[in-house]
Structure 1
Amino acid sequence: MTYRSLLLGTAAALVAGPALADMNFNRIASFPVVENQPGAEESSSEIIAATADGMTLVYTDSPAEVLGFIDITDPHAPRAAGVLELDGEPTSVAVAGQAAFVGVNTSEDYINTSGHLLAVDVTSRAVLGDCDLGGQPDSVAVAPDASFIAVAIENERDEDLGDGRVGQMPAGFVAIVPLADGAMQCDAIIRADVTGLAEIAPEDPEPEYVSINDEGEIVVTLQENNHMVVLSAAGEVLSHFSAGAVDLEGIDVDEERAFVYNGSQPGRLREPDAVTWIDADHFAIANEGDMDGGSRGWTIFHQDGSVIYESGTDFERAIIEIGHYPERRSGNKGVEPESVTFDVFDGTPYVFVGAERASVVGVYDVTDPANPVLEQLLPSGIGPEGYVTIPGRGLLVSANEVDGLEDGAARSHVMIYEYQDAPAVYPHLTSVGMDELTGWGAISGMVADPDSGLIYAVNDSFYAMQPTIFVIEPSMDGPSRIIDAIRVTRAGQPAQLLDMEGITLDGEGGFWIASEGRTDRLVPHALYHVGADGEIEDYVPLPDDLLAVERRFGFEGITMVGDTLWMAVQRSWDDDPENTVKLVAYNTETEEWGAVRYQTTDPDMGWVGLSEIVAHGDHVYLIERDNQIGSAAVTKLITRVALENMVPAPLGGDLPVVEHEVVVDLIPYLTSTGGYVLDKVEGLAIMPDGTIWVSTDNDGVDDHSGETMFFAIPPM
């Protein structure tokens, strides 16, 4: 059995994982970079590098205008190692030995561009050198033999200028800075001219990213120009060619709050961002797009310009199957692969592809560069931007740039993965194996079928145009699999004005669904009776006694006990005493309503409420949680109330407060895979033997990493 069991205090955290291969990458730690600057309004980890001994990480933080440091002597427990304040915006960093070379942008505007390359001793933080670059730097790379540094001088254009295709001087170039005994030779900088090469805006190249191979050759992406250039260490153009285009078929091209894979984009320009050498002849690019393109995948080129491998839609489709597809980016560039890096682990060459909008790292075996094999998809933080590999210690590190403090999302994190002789822990849930490509996300309620052993789960209003009941085959050997998708319909059409937050079986082959209303959006608070085929057969609106006191927070779970439906209300309504919420009852035979109250934990921050209710044995089990993320999370619990105490009182009168007990603290489970604590624990299903299945809501990958946890807790 491939449980990954971690003993955390007195709790054993058991999370199912798929046995993909003998060796796998698994996340072992996450470091919130705000720990380097407590109280910072905004912090970000963008480009990241490591010292030669692999014990210290160095990252750029452009919002704070600092260079950050992380001690990973123990990679399972990274520690804050402080920051170095800079005089501008750091754009990239590369390390040789114990020296970090940082590109710093000091430009006044798009026309008056400036910047410099700073050399810093990582141990002492002393400045070892400072070279004026004569323009706005972007990517920085150090030659493998530490003989020189290449810097992409982007001199980016103002994209609001004209139609965005108007050239804007000064033109970009590549700066080559010689090194002698590790010291920068500022007076010998070579300015490699790359104008006049691209078909698109040849007068205004914008070098984006550089990588250097063992022969000292520099490959450069001109993202906005959709062009590639290979330079010698002396700055001579060895080859150059268009990055080309890809015909995309079977993709989602509209942001319609549904997964619809019938769109196409012929001739989609690649417009690559990051680039990495694989060997002396081949390099990989991430086709993020910018001005006119973005082909949603990645490509391997020979340096003579011939395409060796093109992922097409395969990378994005694999991401769709694990629930990380950002539907709200469908009209733009989908998952937006932005980063690629390469290294060899235990003799196997890997390319790591980062999807910025899906917050996923694809792990490809490139033993044969013409036929890469996707081995894993790893969960990352929001907006993975930079990577560093430390094969000597078996480590992969991602820097995730998005700081979600303002949006109530996770803050910027650096995540650490270890190459292990162990099963792959992620994904927990996948739709791989279905006859048709099936996207999913925002799982908000669940129920177990005691006869089939299957679990039914609903998505919430994020997918308002495609309300769905997912049929899940849970697996202790992981990942659990979605095997069917029942669309919820009204008169045969996708049912609108639903916010499905709970589901339970009706005992006759169908379902009862609780919909959380939003009266300001004309979404009613209601119960829906749904047939096995997904068609709505009947609905029950809330009575006036409840509507008179409700706020916008409605039912967040539903379960059935005999003829009575019990619904958990997420937060207090106007008539509830502080830190209490209602458990509402509806008798399907007598059509009578009633309720009791539940006392929630007093929140340290934000609010605490209920997210699910499930009847099992002599109790109802509930999810009680706060709305906090990461280290701020305190309350993520499974509790229970004895059914003998669940005696509903008439609405409008005094409601009794039921006693409850804590069954499981979920925080050890939520941190058992090396990530930060996810906010929305919303799904709960209990099997006849008492095995508890728990899921998290990934908010449709909007201001969210997309990570979904779906795990089992053995019978208590």
Structure 2
Amino acid sequence: MPTPSTNDRMCIWDSRGPARGHGPYFEIISHFVRQFNCDMVNTIKLTEIGKYTTGVFDRGAAEISAYDPASKRLFVVNAQAATIDILDLSDPTSPVQISQIAVGSFGAVANSVAVKNGTIAVAVEAVDKTNPGKVVFYDANGTYLKDVQVGALPDMLTFSPDGSKVLVANEGESATVDPEGSVSIIDLSGGVSNLTQANVTTAGFTSFNGSEAQLRTEGVRIFAGKTAAQDFEPEYIAVAADGQTAYVTLQENNSVAVIDIPTATVTELQPLGLKDHSLAGNGLDASDRDNNAININTWPVSGMYMPDAIATFSSNGQTYYVTANEGDDRGENRSVRNLTLDPTVFPNAATLKLDANLGRLSVSGIDGDTDGDGDYDKLYAYGARSFSVWDSQGNLVYDSGDDFEQMTAQLFPANFNASNDNNTFDNRSDNKGPEPEGIVVGTVGDRTYGFIGLERIGGVMVYDITNPASPEFVQYLNNRDFSQNVQLPAAGDLGPEGLTFISAADSPTGLPLLVVTNEISGSTTNYAIAPNNTGGIVGTEVGETLNGSNQIDFINGLGGSDRIFGGNQDDVIYGGAGNDTIAGNNGNDLLFGESGANKISGDNGNDAIYGGADSDTITGNNGSDTLFGGAGSDNLNGGNGDDILFGGMGLDTLIGDAGNDTINLGFDGATDTIFYNSSKGRDTVNQFLTGTGGDIISFSGIAAIDVVQSGSNTLFRVGDGIAGNIGFG
């Protein structure tokens, strides 16, 4: 199993200081993270901090998301409801739906959403998906702006980096007819309000018609009886940083198309080639009928990379792209046991065709007869069960080999290669394994990271890809609970479809975030990305006491109910599982309770504290602190200083205490209780719910309460009898 990077020269947090316009809590966290240098931090750690659940199982209720930093709203494709769900992400520990955009009047369902500069673009397929679809534009409130027609089955869209164009992958998937695939380019340079159909150009593939035989010899997979333009089905688009070039995955064709954006021209096809699974480090478990064994082995199989998602990044002035090598078929797949294998190439064919070996493996039935004699000289499997890094010319720079299956085998041996709608062991071994589908790239400080979603077994793989030729594994996150029925929310996230990286500059908290939308569980989960040091203090799976020092400490409690105490510097503490007691002590600390009913205190300094998913008790104590309760019925007390409190989901109790505090109750509809003492400063309460079952304010030290009518407004004014004291505002 790969181990996390231990490169102590890795700098991930820059020293530019906080970005502007994010409010006091951003200032607190940014002040904290910019204290670190190369000697203190060598990697990152992702921590789940919040989740929104639709409660809809296996209906695509959370597929793709896009974030608008100005409104702090997340826009999520809900295919089940034919809507875009608008989630408030101002408190990412407790995302809530505040509205929906219905797309039914423009077609069947939404397939993709993208956001830039407050403009939301939605790809909507036609009721008959072989007809042209539409891209519909809205503002951040969900108000309709404009729409234009694009190609058949617009499956994915993205803005250019400067926001002047929208690129749309028109998959053109066949049904009763087979429409041509294409990429639409929508010019927004004149503003959305002036958008017309004349602003839409199409990059098509008709120029490759008639060259199918030559393209096949070059490695571009094209089905018999199809023109190139019919057969190419654009799946996903990534735009280079300069906004001039787009890279488009043609999944079933095992290729990437390169598009010159200014001229809307496909300039190149890059066949991706084959992965040799007979090489050490490229193994796979090829059978779901191998006596309940995990059998990751090398086999005489060639994997077609067939990526779904793609993303670009730059390194040393060069453009690279990364791919999630999922694999896909159109029904032409066959099991190896049903094929006639060439006896010279496969002298042990009878053994290979056993169910416990390759017999059950799904391979292409139209590829592999290289000499045309009717038997199979090569076995072409779907997908590569990996992610890859390619240069701008389509040359393979790096592939993660069998990392994904090796890691999931060690972490989930009883449910290895389970699918996303059942917990059955080995279920997907004979068919694409964990299926990496989504991929996104994000920059944290001066490091570049790749985040890869595993559609079947679930979870996200994280790699440092700053050096494209030598990525380093960082973390694998999977909150799935295999002891639970998959249809229950307690089962966790199932079927990660889309990933959205939110930079520190755009984040509502000042920490970078990763948002994962899960199509099977219908859930949207937020992860905070924070600094870590693999050489720090690490606990065990049982409860213990862990103490910091006079240096900056990184403490990971892991399992058990721990007692963790920071030292005298700016510490990062992760509680892990269990009901932990965490004290930051001195310094501006970053504290994560994670799972369990935790008791967390920031103590001295300007601290940022995340409670986690259970009912936590959080106290800021001295300093201007930011407290996130998250899910559960939490008890938050700001203590001294001008604090910001986020109650989050659940029946929370919030006390600003001394200082002028800001208390955010959230839009969860639960009854929160706020305690206010007139001698403790002036507090501001946001998202107060009135009426039956609404929130409660409990006052102490109040001498008088007046109700004043001001026009149509009823003002509730309290005082403490001291002249000039404006009290609670």
TM-score by structure 2 length? 0.52
* Residue equivalent to 2:516: 399
Aligned-partner Cα distance in 2 for 1:347–1:340: 20
Question: In structure 2, what is the Cα distance between the partners aligned to 1:40 and 1:350?
Answer: 31
Identify if the C-alpha distance between structure 1 residues 40 and 325 changes in structure 2 by more than 3 Å, giving closer, same or farther: closer
Cα distance in structure 2, aligned partners of 1:131 and 1:78? 31
1:344 CA drift (Å): 0.6
Q: 1:589-608 residue pairs with structure 2 within 5 A?
A: none
Q: Structure 1, unaligned stretches of length 5 or more?
A: 1-19, 162-167, 404-410, 431-445, 449-475, 482-634, 637-665, 678-716
Check the 8 A contact 1:239/1:304 in 2, yes or no.
Answer: no
1:388 matched residue in structure 2: 500
- Counterpart for residue 371 of structure 1: 470
Q: 1:64/1:429 Cα in 2 relative to 1: closer, same or farther (>3 Å)? A: farther
Q: 1:401 to 1:429 in 2, by over 3 A?
A: farther
Distance in 2 (CA, whole Å) between partners of 1:355 and 1:42 is: 18
Please give the alpha-carbon distance, in whole angstroms, between the structure 2 residues aligned to 1:82 and 1:65.
13
Mapped pair 1:192 → 2:212: no
Distance 1:200 1:46, change over 3 A: same
Matched, 1:290 2:328: yes
Deviations 1:176-202 (A, max 9, x none): 111124414431211111253644233
Secondary structure of the 1:140 match is strand
Distance 2:629 2:268 in 1: 43
* Other structure's SS at 1:103 match: strand
Which of 531, 534, 558 is the equivalent residue of 1:421? 531
Contact kept in structure 1, 2:49 and 2:528, CA below 8 Å: no
- Counting strand residues as a fraction of each chain, which structure ranks higher? 1
- Listed as ranges, the matches of 1:529-540 within 5 Å are none
- Counterparts of 1:114 and 1:105, CA distance in 2: 7
Q: What's 2:397 paired with?
A: 308
CA shift, 1:129, in A, is 0.8
Select 1:325's aligned residue among 410, 416, 426.
416
**Distance in structure 2 (CA, Å) of the matches to 1:130 and 1:244:** 39
Please list every run of at least 4 consecutive aligned residues from structure 1 whose deviation after the TM superposition is greater than 4 angstroms.
Answer: 20-23, 39-43, 476-481, 666-669, 672-677
How big is the shift at 1:423?
A: 6.7
Q: Are the counterparts in 2 of residues 178 and 185 from structure 1 also a CA contact under 8 Å?
A: no
Q: Residue 250 of structure 1 aligns to a residue in which SS?
A: coil
Tell me how far apart the structure 2 counterparts of residues 138 and 674 of structure 1 sit (CA, whole Å). Answer: 37
* Cα displacement (A) at 1:54: 6.9
Match of 2:449 in 1: 350
1:386 Cα offset (Å): 0.8
**Counterparts in 2 of 1:189 and 1:674: CA distance versus 1, 3 Å:** farther
Equivalent in 294, 310, 315 of residue 275 of structure 1: 310
Larger deviation, residues 113-122 vs 387-396:
387-396
Closer/same/farther in 2, CA of residues 268 and 333 from structure 1, 3 Å limit: same
Which whole-Å deviations, capped at 9, do the CAs of 1:479-513 have from their partners, x for residues lacking one?
679xxxxxxxxxxxxxxxxxxxxxxxxxxxxxxxx
Match of 2:179 in 1: 170
Counterpart code for 2:119 = A
Query: Given the alignment, which residue of 83, 90, 93 partners 2:110?
Result: 90
Residue in 1 that maps onto 2:268: 239
Change (3 A) 1:212 1:172: same
1:677-716 → structure 2 map (5 Å cutoff): none
CA distance in 1, matches of 2:539, 2:305: 31
Match of residue 75 from structure 2: 58
Provide the rounded CA distance (Å) in 2 between the counterparts of 1:208 and 1:44.
20
**2:435 alignment counterpart:** 336
Residue 138 of structure 2 is matched in structure 1 by 120
From the superposition, tell whether residues 41 and 282 of structure 1 become closer, same or farther in structure 2 (CA, over 3 Å): closer
Q: CA deviation at 1:258?
A: 2.9
**Where does residue 207 of structure 1 map in the other structure?**
234
Q: 1:389 to 1:182 in 2, by over 3 A?
A: farther
After superposition, the C-alpha distances for 1:195-238 in whole angstroms (9 at most, x for unaligned) are: 53644233411000011112221110000111111101122223
CA distance in 2: counterparts of 1:48 and 1:265, whole angstroms: 39
Deviation readout 1:324-356 (Å, 9 max, x if unpaired): 732211010111000111121122111111111
C-alpha distance 128-673 of structure 1, shift in aligned 2 (>3 A): closer
Q: Which one-letter code corresponds to 2:514 in the other structure?
A: V
Which secondary structure state, in structure 1, belongs to the residue aligned with residue 409 of structure 2? helix
Hey, what's the Cα distance between the residues in 1 that align with 2:557 and 2:288?
A: 31
Paired position in structure 1 for 2:247: 219
2:188 is paired with a residue of what secondary structure?
A: strand
In structure 2, the CA distance between the partners of 1:42 and 1:172, relative to structure 1 (3 Å rule), is closer
Separation in 1, partners of 2:614, 2:188: 49
Percent of residue pairs bearing the same amino acid type: 27
| Aligned positions of 1:623-634 closer than 5 A | none
Paired position in structure 2 for 1:32: 52
Output the amino acid matched with 2:496: P
Distance 1:363 1:40 in 2: 26
Q: Distance in 2 between the 1:260 and 1:73 partners?
A: 46
* Contact in 2 for aligned 1:285/1:340 (Cα 8 Å): yes
Cα distance between partner residues in 2 of 1:262 and 1:480: 32
Per-residue deviation, residues 124-169 of structure 1 (Å, max 9, x unmatched): x1111100113110110100011111100001135xx9xxxxxx62
* Equivalent residue letter for 1:230: V
Amino acid at match of 1:178: D
Give 3-state SS (helix, strand or coil) of 1:389's partner.
Answer: strand
TM-aligned CA deviation for residue 89 of structure 1: 0.8
Residue range with higher mean Cα deviation, 85-94 or 317-326 = 317-326
SS in 2 for 1:317: helix
**Counterparts in 2 of 1:42 and 1:272: CA distance versus 1, 3 Å:** closer
Residue 40 to residue 306, structure 1, CA distance change in 2 (3 Å): closer
Contact 1:28–1:674 (CA under 8 A) maintained in structure 2: no
Deviation (angstroms), 1:33: 3.6
Separation in structure 2 between the aligned mates of residue 54 and residue 365 of structure 1, nearest angstrom = 30
Alignment partner, residue 46 of structure 1: 63
Aligned to 1:14: none
| Equivalent AA in structure 1 for residue 322 of structure 2 | A
The AA in structure 1 aligned to 2:304 is L
Query: Which structure 2 segments of 5+ residues have no match?
Result: 1-39, 209-214, 330-363, 365-381, 418-425, 480-492, 543-554, 561-595, 598-612, 617-626, 633-729
The question of 1:252 aligning with 2:285 is answered yes
One-letter identity of the residue aligned with 2:524: V
Between the aligned partners of 1:322 and 1:372, the Cα distance in structure 2 is 21
Structure 2 counterpart of 1:228:
256
CA contact (8 A) 2:501 2:514 kept: yes
Distance in 1 separating the partners of 2:66 and 2:427: 32
**Residue aligned with 1:180, SS:** coil
Equivalent residues in 2 for 1:498-577, closer than 5 Å:
none
Rounded to whole Å, the distance in 1 between the matches of 2:170 and 2:389 is: 24
Q: What amino acid is the match of 1:388?
A: T
In the TM superposition, residue 27 of structure 1 has moved relative to its aligned partner by 2.7
Deviation, 1:374, is 1.0
Question: 2: CA distance between counterparts of 1:33 and 1:100?
Answer: 22
* Contact 1:25/1:417, CA 8 A, preserved across alignment: no
Work out whether residues 133 and 149 of structure 2, in 8 Å CA contact, stay in contact via their aligned partners in 1. yes
1:146–1:182 Cα contact (<8 Å) kept: no
**Residue type of the partner of 1:261?**
I
Q: 1:185 to 1:321 in 2, by over 3 A?
A: farther
Shift of 1:364: 1.2
Cα displacement (A) at 1:40: 9.8
Contact map agreement 1:71 1:81 (CA 8 A) in 2: yes
